[in-house]
A and B are shown apart, each in its own frame.
Chain A
Amino acid sequence: MTEQVRDQQMLLDVKDLSISYKVYEGMLRVLQHIDFRVESGERIGLVGEAGCGKTTLLKTIAHILPIPPAVIETGEVWFKGRDVLDGSKASRRSIRRDVSMILQDPTASLNPTLTIRSFMGDILKNTPHPGSRAERKQRMLEALEKVSMPSPERVLGSYPVQLSGGMRQRVCIAMCLLKDVDLILADEPTTSLDVTIEKQILELLNTLSVENRKSMVLVSHALGAVRTMTDRTYVMYAGNLAEEGTTAEIFDHPAHPYTEGLFEATPKLSGEGVSDGIAGELPSYLDPPPGCRFMPRCPQALGVCAEERPGRFRLNESHSVACWARETGRVEEEGNP
């Protein structure tokens, strides 16, 4: 949890976003009515398994979603007061300048035929004050030092293939720093790394985001990482938001049956045995059920769950859940924060 004073300035506000993909068999309804917000300086966790739509959401925010075959059915994405989806050059530029994405596989993000100096140089040359060559080099070295990179000089002259996975990921993070972005989107940044390195990288991300007051969205299936590094968490299932709240609330009092099932299915260091997992499988996205998408697998399903999509119910001021079984009184309409 952070002690920073949080300004009320909403950095990112996703409203009622629904996205589908056009495929041979029809339309895959990948995201349904997602509301998602990030305030300045906040660290947000996004939890969900494969197919839940978290990568699609991030790509939409980062403006790298391939628009055909993707189709934006409804919704808006506001970033720093600007509608990102309006297609204008200005909004694209705004995103490119102030948002950075760290991908799961650092190898894929780095062109193997260019040296690290080339990447970092390109970024610096496109900032408002590129400076001289010597100044740029200085800034590159500083960025590498900030990410605790051993032998930064040598690294600058290396090609990505000469660096280890952990070092490549540090380079990606350093590139974010160079760009001086406002929002870092980290999509499973440590999944391809070893556990001991993972810890170092997560700590690094944490420090940087806190120290430099950068907002961060951390997508990770390593629930422990989300627990220790985020202020608020969203849980997604099959393209829908299952629940959201402060991280402490979500982890200590998970409300959605999916979240409960997910936490229970995660093997624990305390040795509680192997859980049964969550029975069933993801629903079809082509022909989704009219009601709650989790219903076929839900141990607490009610009759209404099959017929109508649950709205968001507020459990307390820091926790809301989209589940009929937790209905405490619908406070908000779909689509309004």
Chain B
Amino acid sequence: MPDKLTEQGRPRLDRYKRQWHKFASNRLSLLGLVVVLLLIVLAVFAGKIAPYPEHAGLYLDFQSANQGPSLQHIAGTDEYGRDIFSRMLFGLRVSLEIGLLVLAIGVPIGVLLGLIAGYHRNTWIDTAIMRFTDLFMAVPPLVLALVVVAMFTPGFFFAAIGIAVAWWPWYTRLTYSLVTSLSNEMYVKYAELSGAKSRHIILKEILPNAISPIFTKMSLDMGMIIIIASSMSFVGLGVQPPAPSLGSMVSNGIKFLPEFWWIPVFPALFVVLIVLGFNLLGDGLRDVFAIEEL
């Protein structure tokens, strides 16, 4: 097959169109995308969509406590009479916010360190950075996050910091290996031979080719981060009550099994849905970026 197909118009747009087509041809990836978009909409507009937004905070109505799923309360109510569905939506918002904050902190740090270490591989810079990274990776992420939180005060912000501290090393490793393999590409060697500055080589030659796997990882990570955040609130070191958090909703609700099963089950299922959505999306992205052009 000739390796040039007719291209009209802007080449970058054509590339995006082709990638979209490839992505969309996989039903599961589309499902993931739809789910994630839906979740984002729900989170952003939680205030408008939730039937009982005031239940997200402190609210007591023992008359309506522990009622099963019904038309007024799709997911039932908890022991304080709060609408579980509304709380789930706000809990979703919290989860997504934590995920984004963790990535916003962890990814730039991790990628930057990985770029520097990878570009200066086999020098002391490489060794220093990568051994430092190894140190952090030696501790399980949840434990590390909990330690950080315990050093400060439990709550949304430090939970995010804690997870970010546990998370950045994986990006360093990924970026490092990407940079190392990309450095062998002829066009990078050419830039080096021509005397291009390191900054140009790292940012213009290497990074654009490394972005795709990093994005894929970010999407796949969202699910995991949300689970960790939920686990932290499960043990009480994450988001603190009365702020809604899916993890604490599950942990608090466990004692109501099996009679008032809806109290832990719906939030738990919701976590599953969120994680599944991001995972499918991430898998789809990975497949699209795996094989570049023709």
- A touches B in complex, CB < 8 A: yes
Measured CB to CB, the residues of A under 8 A from B are 21, 24-25, 28, 30, 51, 281-287
> How close is A114's CB to chain B, nearest CB, in angstroms?
26
Measured CB to CB, the residues of B under 8 A from A are 1-6, 18, 21-22
Is A24 a contact partner of B21 (Cβ separation < 8 A)? Answer: yes
Q: What are 23 A-B contacts with C-beta separation under 8 Å?
A: A21-B1, A24-B18, A24-B21, A24-B22, A25-B5, A25-B6, A28-B1, A30-B1, A51-B1, A51-B2, A51-B3, A281-B2, A281-B4, A282-B2, A283-B2, A284-B2, A284-B5, A284-B6, A285-B1, A285-B2, A286-B5, A286-B6, A287-B6
Contacts of A21 in B (CB 8 A): 1
Cα-based distance from A286 to B294 in the complex (angstroms): 14
Cα-based distance from A287 to B2 in the complex (angstroms): 13
Q: Which partner residue on chain B sits nearest A56 by CB separation?
A: B1
Cα-based distance from A281 to B21 in the complex (angstroms): 28
Q: Is the interface of B mostly helix, strand, loop or mixed?
A: loop
Interface centre among B1, B3, B6, B22 (most CB of A within 10 A): B1
Q: Is the interface of A mostly helix, strand, loop or mixed?
A: loop
> How close is A280's CB to chain B, nearest CB, in angstroms?
12
Contacts of B6 in A (CB 8 A): 25, 284, 286-287
> How close is B110's CB to chain A, nearest CB, in angstroms?
33
Contacts of A283 in B (CB 8 A): 2
Cα-based distance from A28 to B1 in the complex (angstroms): 8
> How close is B218's CB to chain A, nearest CB, in angstroms?
26
Contacts of B1 in A (CB 8 A): 21, 28, 30, 51, 285
Cα-based distance from A85 to B3 in the complex (angstroms): 28
Cα-based distance from A21 to B1 in the complex (angstroms): 10
Cα-based distance from A281 to B6 in the complex (angstroms): 13
Contacts of A284 in B (CB 8 A): 2, 5-6
Q: Which partner residue on chain B sits nearest A28 by CB separation?
A: B1
Extra A-B contacts (8), CB below 8 Å, given A282-B2, A286-B6, A287-B6: A24-B18, A25-B5, A25-B6, A28-B1, A30-B1, A51-B1, A281-B4, A283-B2
Contacts of B2 in A (CB 8 A): 51, 281-285
